[in-house]
Amino acid sequence: QSALTQPASVSGSPGQSITIACTGTSSDFVAYNYVSWYQQHPGKAPKVMIYDVSSRPSGISNRFSGSKSGNTASLTISGLQAEDEADYYCSSYELTGDVLFGGGTKLTVL
Amino acid sequence: QLQLQESGPGLVKPSETLSLTCTVSGGSISINSYYWGWVRQPPGKGLEWIGFVFYSGNTFYSPSLQSRLTISVDTSKNQFSLKLSSVTATDTSVYYCARHGTAYGYNDYFDYWGQGILVTVSS
């Protein structure tokens, strides 16, 4: 099964912007835009922040944005805030019906 | 407001079967637009998709788990269930139930999650 690769950690200071990359190897990941991003605080269930590469669910701050180029999807968080410190996971919904998750990226707000 | 709640034993012996149930409240499980799924997370590690069930009983399983996995649905109780056989210590995880849309390009993500239940495999 194809994997999604993310950096283990990223950090930034309050007010700055950070970007988390997610690299995929499946043909579905490259060809389609069924990529979502989840935020997970310690001890809590994940929460979707971005779906279909760049769409935000209702109630999600526009400080969160997504993009994709080729085999790499990216999540950008602008105007970093202390509450953004969390783990972030990319995910791909494959045409087979399978769901892939990246290994997760720990965001530290300095 | 839709709510999902996992239930089941928190401790399972090696080689036995792990069984969990997810109870859905605040909405019907018998909806065309959604799959009902399971995701797990070993302590300190990342998320792993386990599988989906549709209200009709159709299923999608992770290739790495499918030989040991059964996911079923009981629409009369608004519940769906997970059974994972022949467990080992590597199956120790927080298990989440969650709802996932069926429509690519529309609602193809997990939008509601349970709080998660820790299941430890140990003798």
Q: What percent of chain B is predicted at pLDDT more than 70?
A: 100
Out of B39, B63, B109, closest to residue A51 by CB: B109
pLDDT band at B7 (very low <50, low <70, confident <90, very high): very high
Identify the DSSP state of A29: H
Phi-psi group of A96: left, alpha or beta (phi > 0 → left; psi -120 to 50 → alpha; rest → beta): alpha
Q: Tens digit of pLDDT for each residue in A72-92?
A: 999 999 999 999 999 999 999
Cα separation, B35 vs B73, whole angstroms? 11
What are the residues whose beta carbons fall under 8 Å from the beta carbon of B84, sequence distance 6 or more?
A: B17, B18, B50, B65, B68, B69, B91
Structure confidence at residue B97 (pLDDT): 98
Beta sheet of B18-25, edge-to-edge order: B3-7, B18-25, B79-84, B69-74
What are the residues whose beta carbons fall under 8 Å from the beta carbon of A65, sequence distance 6 or more?
A: A50, A54, A56, A75, A76, A78
Structure confidence at residue B21 (pLDDT): 98
Long-range contacts of A44-50 (CB under 8 A, 24+ apart): A45/B96, A45/B98, A45/B113, A45/B114, A45/B115, A45/B116, A46/A89, A46/B39, A46/B47, A46/B96, A46/B110, A46/B113, A47/B113, A48/B109, A48/B110, A48/B111, A49/A75, A49/A88, A50/A75
Using the beta-carbon criterion (under 8 Å), do B49 and A34 form an inter-chain contact?
A: no
Rg (alpha carbons) of chain B, rounded to whole number: 14
The arithmetic mean of pLDDT across residues B88-110, rounded, is 94
Q: Tens digit of pLDDT for each residue in A2-27?
A: 589 999 999 999 999 999 999 999 88
Residue A27, helix vs strand vs coil: helix
The arithmetic mean of pLDDT across residues B33-45, rounded, is 97
Out of B46, B96, B100, closest to residue A45 by CB: B96
Which tokens sit at A34?
């069924």
String of DSSP letters for B4-16: EEEES-SEE-TTS
Using the beta-carbon criterion (under 8 Å), do B115 and A98 form an inter-chain contact?
A: no
Cβ of B59 under 8 Å from any chain A Cβ? Answer: no
A 16-75 residues with CB < 8 A to B: 32-34, 36, 38, 40, 45-48, 51-52, 57
Cβ of A97 under 8 Å from any chain B Cβ? Answer: yes
The greatest distance separating any two alpha carbons of chain B, rounded to the nearest whole angstrom, comes to 45
Alpha-carbon separation of residue B43 from A12, B40, B95, B117 (angstroms): 26, 10, 11, 12
Cβ of A105 under 8 Å from any chain B Cβ? Answer: no
Out of B52, B106, B109, closest to residue A48 by CB: B109
Structure confidence at residue B48 (pLDDT): 97
pLDDT beyond 70 at A1: no
Average pLDDT of every residue of chain B: 96
Mutation target for B interface from A58, A99, A100: give the one with most B CBs within 10 A: A99
